[in-house]
Structure formats: C-alpha cells, structure tokens
Amino acid sequence: MNQTHPLAVIRSPRTQFWDGVKAQIPNTSGIMPFGMLAGAFTTSVLQSELLGVLYTSGVFAGRAQMVAMQLVLDKSPIFVPLAACIVINLRHLMYGAALSEYFRHVPLRWKILSAFLMTDLSYIVGYPHFRKEADTPHAATSLWYYLGASIVNWGAWSTGGVIGALIGAQIPPSLSLDLVPTFSFIAALVNGMRDRAGFAAGVSAGIVAVIFAGLPWSMGLFISAIVGLIVGLVVEQRDEVSA
C-alpha cells in the first residue's frame, strides 16, 4: 500500500514549517531574555540603539557577540575579538558536518540561509528531526521543519535585541551592565559541564582564565577558550576510544 500511494504520506513544506515553529516556541522563554541582555549591552558599548539592533539581529551569535562587546569595551585590538569569536563559534563546524548529508541536495540559496540561522537551539531541534525522517518520504520536505524552528529562534532573539537596545540607554551606569556577559558565561559554563569532556574543558578554561586574568585586552579570555577547547577535544577522543 505504501508503494501505491507514495505521495500521500509526504508532509507538505507548510506542515513541516509549522511543526518546526511549534517545536521551537517553548525555547523562546530563554532566547528572548538573552537577546535583551545582548541588545542592551551592545547598545551601551556602541552608544547607538540602531547599531545595537543591527548588530544583534545581523550577527545572531549571542555568546560571540557578548565576548566581542566586552573586548571592544576593553579597547582590545580588532584581531582579538575576531579571533575570540572564531574560537567560540568553532562548534558550528561540527554542527555543519553533522547536518551536511541532509543538505546535500539543497539549493545554495537555502544552504546560505540555513547557515546564517544555525545556532545551538536550531541544531538541537533540527538534527533529531532530520535523522528521524532521513529514510522516510518526509525527508524531501524536512528542511522546512528546520527553517521553521530556526526563524522562530531568530525572531525571538531579534525581538529581545530590539527591546534591550531601547531600554539599554535608560539603564544607569551604576548598574554595571558590563557584568552581564560574565553572568551569562557562568550560566553557559555550568550548562555545558554535563559530561567528562565538558567538565574538563570548563575546569581547565576557568583555571587558565584566572591565571591570565591580568593580561591586557582580556587576552586571558581568549587563551582560556583555546585551552578549554583543546582539553575538551582530547578528553572526548579518549572517551570515544575507550568506549
């Protein structure tokens, strides 16, 4: 019967899109507040609400944005925030490698859009769906599920960024808004220390950051990120071999 009606069971792009939207909506409760913090902090650093909004929506990389703004605030040379952002976003290469087989036949314009929309939550929601439908008739339209989830992610982040940019100028300097990224990084660090590799990366990066805290231009943050990444990869490879 499946061979008699192969097209009847294929979910339409619209259905896939809205299923992705619904899957991502619960995550907006965490996306929007982080976007507000990023928008407010960026606006306070760049001294421009317009630039705060454009930067937050256009860059669409929360942790990298917060690090970059902190380094700009510290008057670091341009190569320091650029290098730090590259290191922070190296995980996207792993996301892309994992998703590459599902995008093999996708037109270039959709690949570019999908790459721009790629975030941790886009991957977390999209990858299991791609795998589940890989050997089914729905695979032909599963891209739209990813796009639906990713656009909700971007919309919630951008909305939070606009709100943060508008209220950022109203926040007095005495509230020390520059401490926001520190707290957000601590939360991200704790959240990522769920396995041996994550724990080893977090501990090693934290120790190195404390040791090199006195370096100019916040270079200690950059060095600690590289050390944490290397240690995490080494531990993860050893765990895979032992398994």
CA dist., res. 135 & res. 218, Å (int): 48
Considering 127, 147, 174, which residue would you say is the last residue of a domain? Answer: 174
CA dist., res. 214 & res. 220, Å (int): 7
Range of the domain at 23: 13-174
- What distances in angstroms separate CA 211 from CA 42, 98, 109, 119, 237, one per listed residue? 28, 35, 45, 31, 26
Is the predicted pLDDT of residue 28 greater than 70, yes or no? Answer: yes
Together in a domain, 158 and 202: no
In-domain check, residue 8? no
Together in a domain, 19 and 125: yes
Q: Grade residue 159 by pLDDT with cuts at 50, 70 and 90.
A: very high
Together in a domain, 222 and 135: no
Together in a domain, 226 and 131: no
Together in a domain, 90 and 20: yes
Mean pLDDT of 233-242: 78
Residue 113 has a pLDDT of: 93
Considering 174, 205, 232, which residue would you say is the last residue of a domain? Answer: 174
Together in a domain, 135 and 221: no
Together in a domain, 43 and 161: yes
Considering 122, 142, 174, which residue would you say is the last residue of a domain? Answer: 174
In-domain check, residue 6? no
Split into its structural domains, the chain has a count of 2
Neighbours of 80 (CB within 10 A): 21
Together in a domain, 164 and 126: yes
In-domain check, residue 179? no
Is the predicted pLDDT of residue 14 greater than 50, yes or no? Answer: yes
Q: Grade residue 202 by pLDDT with cuts at 50, 70 and 90.
A: confident
Residue range 45-99, pLDDT digits in tens: 888 889 989 989 998 888 788 888 888 887 888 888 888 788 778 778 878 888 8
CA dist., res. 192 & res. 60, Å (int): 20
Together in a domain, 42 and 95: yes
In-domain check, residue 98? yes
Residue 4 has a pLDDT of: 43
In-domain check, residue 37? yes
- ∠ Cα 69 27 58 (to 5°): 35
Residue 187 has a pLDDT of: 55
In-domain check, residue 238? yes
Mean pLDDT of 127-155: 89
Residue 8 has a pLDDT of: 47
Residue range 178-192, pLDDT digits in tens: 555 555 555 555 655
In-domain check, residue 182? no
Summary mean pLDDT of the chain: 80
DSSP code at position 174: G
Is the predicted pLDDT of residue 197 greater than 80, yes or no? Answer: no
